[in-house]
Amino acid sequence: MEFLFKIGKKIIPEPIFKFFQPVYHWILSFLGAFFYGFPSKKLIVIGVTGTKGKTTTCNLIVHILNSSGLKTGMATTVNFRIGEREWINTSKQTMLGRFQLQKLLSEMVKAGCRYAVIETSSEGILQYRHRFIDYDIAVFTNLSPEHIERHGSFENYRRAKIKLFEKVAKKENGIGIYNLDDENVSFFLKPKITRQYVYTLKLKKTIGEIQNLYQISKIKSTAQGTSFLFNNEQYTMPLVGEFNVYNAAAAICVALSQGVWPSKIRKALFKVKAPAGRFEVIESKRGFTVVIDYAHEPASLEAVYKTAKSRIANRKSRLICLLGSQGGGRDKWKRPEMGKIAAKHCNKIILTNEDPYDENPSQILSDIKSGIQNSKFKIQNLYKVIDRKKAIKVALLLAKNGDVVILTGKGGEVWMAVEKGKKIPWDERKIVEEILSR
């Protein structure tokens, strides 16, 4: 079916193709669900959507539920999971194709899972991959501009995300989980979901008709992790950064909505591990720290840089940043913006490949560089190394005792997308460890 779709796209006039495209997506989604017996109806399905933090939030939810004796499956950008069995997502898709996703849900049912946690992307919603999945809980992490070329505008991007909440609102006992500190939250609260849970760090008073309001406070971060109060109950986790506190808050709300005791949630969070490539820390024998993170859009990049800065030992220590941006015409607007953010926070910047696809890598780096040149950043501290492996080596050679080297864009991905549809095997952590061991 996917092959026929690609052929049709080439031979059918674009206006006609676009007119029938939703019908195609609907039929494919129905057939996938029908073939596997509509497995989501036998599960409590949790959909997590937003711009940042979806993968980590999904992993936190699954860890808490599994630790509480509630067998759970999961599908995210980085990994899949059924109970204790976990494997890497090699597809370079946040949401799998309709048949693949329904097959995975079917396997969860056969394995005796009670819950399924699905990272639900705007692209997946646009292609109806969420159709015929019986969502019970919708989680909103945050929203900032992303995939604008694909959706046509930020408003359309937001509207796609809201469809998940509209779907859950149709359920008699649907549950919505919301980040009240995000400026777009009011749009997600409009679909009237039966039970609503909201969490906030910034607001200090109860809001209107909100049923379950949870206050985050007293965040304390160390190199080893983070502690915080959640409605005056203390939680500690090995993850760092304010952004991870927000991710944890969403996961806590999901667990509370399912009747998990706070004591069990605390115990689970204390032992949780971050998914691969999500602020993943490697300590070198030369006294500097390496951080690998997926941060691929401006808001997440800024958050990661701020958190990385908190690990810098003293004023003489530096933040050395490896930075790229997706090719293939994807979100070109964000390239200079990410360069500008890097210039604001980093002492040295190495520009390199991320996923160039068929686009000229030099042009991508020039677009990023334009944002750096319009800042006060010293141009002698800017390096351009297209080969990402060589660029990582340059970054590590530049590092000294007390520095933090941060590699963004790839995270835990296992492929790099290059020209003519080719994919190169990739493992950022392994590359770092190989260079450091020499």
The pLDDT, as a whole number, for residue 19 is 67
Q: Residue 142's pLDDT is what?
A: 96
Q: Are 24 and 5 spatial neighbours (Cβ–Cβ below 8 Å)?
A: yes
- Give the model's pLDDT for residue 331: 83
Rounded Cα distance, 337 and 298, in Å: 7
Local confidence pLDDT in tens for the 438 residues of the chain:
555 555 655 666 667 766 677 787 888 889 999 999 999 999 999 999 999 999 999 999 999 999 999 999 999 999 999 999 999 999 888 888 889 999 999 999 999 999 999 999 998 898 888 999 999 999 999 998 887 777 789 999 999 999 999 999 999 999 999 999 999 999 999 999 999 999 999 876 555 667 799 999 999 987 678 999 999 999 999 999 999 999 999 999 999 999 999 999 999 999 999 889 999 999 999 999 999 999 989 999 999 999 998 877 677 899 999 999 988 777 899 999 999 999 999 999 999 999 999 999 999 999 999 999 988 899 999 999 999 999 999 999 999 999 999 999 999 999 999 998 899 999 999 999 999 998
Secondary structure (3-state) at 136:
strand
Three-state SS at 29: helix
Rounded CA separation 150/386 (Å) = 26
CB 305 within 8 A of CB 292: no
Q: What is the DSSP letter of 358?
A: T
| Beta-bridge partner residues of 139 | 48, 177
For residue 430, count CB atoms less than 10 angstroms from its CB and return exposed for 0-12, middle for 13-18, buried for 19 or more: exposed
Tokens linked to 83: 């109970």
- Contact criterion met (CB below 8 Å) for 79 and 96: no
Residue 157: Cβ within 10 Å count: 21
Q: Find the helix packing angle between 14-35 and 2-11, rounded to 10°.
A: 170
The DSSP bridge pattern shows strands 195-200 and 212-222 to be parallel
- Contact present, 140 and 176 (Cβ < 8 Å): yes
- Residue 189 sits at φ, ψ, to 5 deg, of -80, -15
Contact 201/245 with Cβ under 8 angstroms?
Answer: yes
Q: How far apart are CA 68 and CA 260, in angstroms?
A: 7
In terms of C-beta density within 10 A (0-12 exposed, 13-18 middle, 19 or more buried), how is residue 367 classed? buried
**Closest of 117, 122, 96 to residue 40, by C-alpha:** 117
* Cβ–Cβ < 8 Å for 338, 323: yes
d(CA 61, CA 297): 24
Amino acid at 195: R
What does residue 132 show for φ and ψ, rounded to 5 degrees?
A: 65, 20
Distance of CA 300 to the CA centre of its chain: 9
Domain annotation for the chain: domains and CATH numbers: 7-270 (3.40.1190.10), 280-436 (3.90.190.20)
pLDDT of residue 2: 52
What is the DSSP code string of 247-288? HHHHHHHHHHHTT--HHHHHHHHHT--PPTTSSEEEE-TTS-
From CA 108, how far away is CA 96, in angstroms rounded?
15
Please state the φ and ψ torsions of residue 326, each to the nearest 5 degrees: -65, 145
Residue 7, C-beta contacts closer than 8 angstroms, at least 6 positions apart: none
Taking the CA atoms of the chain, what radius of gyration do you get in angstroms? 22
d(CA 94, CA 271): 26
One-letter amino acid identity for 368? I
In 3D, which of 75, 110, 72 has the Cα closest to residue 91?
75
Can you tell me the distance from the alpha carbon of 409 to that of 296, in angstroms, rounded to the nearest whole number?
5
d(CA 99, CA 395): 42
Q: Taking a C-beta distance cutoff of 8 angstroms, is the pair 211, 195 a contact?
A: yes
The residues near 205 (Cβ < 8 Å, ≥ 6 apart) are none
